[in-house]
Amino acid sequence: MGSTLDSASMLRYPVARLSPMSEPESPVLRLIPYLAAITVTVFATLSVVGTGESNLLVTLVVAAVGYFGTYFIVKLIIHALVTRIGSDHHDDHD
């Protein structure tokens, strides 16, 4: 006997509590953090490699920090903008 998971039973699992509302609906808004992170990673890595004084570990650390830092900062900015713009449309309907 298998059990099926409906939306009410899924709320017991922590992963299911992550609502899709945290993601913007537009595919372009979902793509922007990845493009920004890749761009910053390429330029940061090229600047580190261009000095000639770095080794592979330093280059990888700079690339990883640049990628994840840029990704999460841009995602936070987009979320703040979408939330603020979305909340402006629902105010003052009195």
pLDDT for residue 24: 65
Q: Is 75 domain-assigned? A: yes
pLDDT at 81 over 70: yes
Q: Is 94 domain-assigned? A: no
Q: How far apart are CA 91 and CA 14, in angstroms?
A: 32
Q: Could you tell me the residue range of the domain that residue 49 belongs to?
A: 25-88
Q: Is 50 helix (H, G, I), strand (E, B) or coil?
A: helix
Give tens-digit pLDDT for 32-61.
Answer: 999 999 999 999 999 988 888 778 998 999
Number of domains in the chain: 1
Q: Is 49 domain-assigned? A: yes
pLDDT for residue 12: 54
pTM of the complete model: 0.64
Q: Is 42 domain-assigned? A: yes
Q: Is 3 domain-assigned? A: no
Q: Is 5 domain-assigned? A: no
Q: Is 32 domain-assigned? A: yes
Q: Is 4 domain-assigned? A: no
Q: How far apart are CA 87 and CA 16, in angstroms?
A: 24
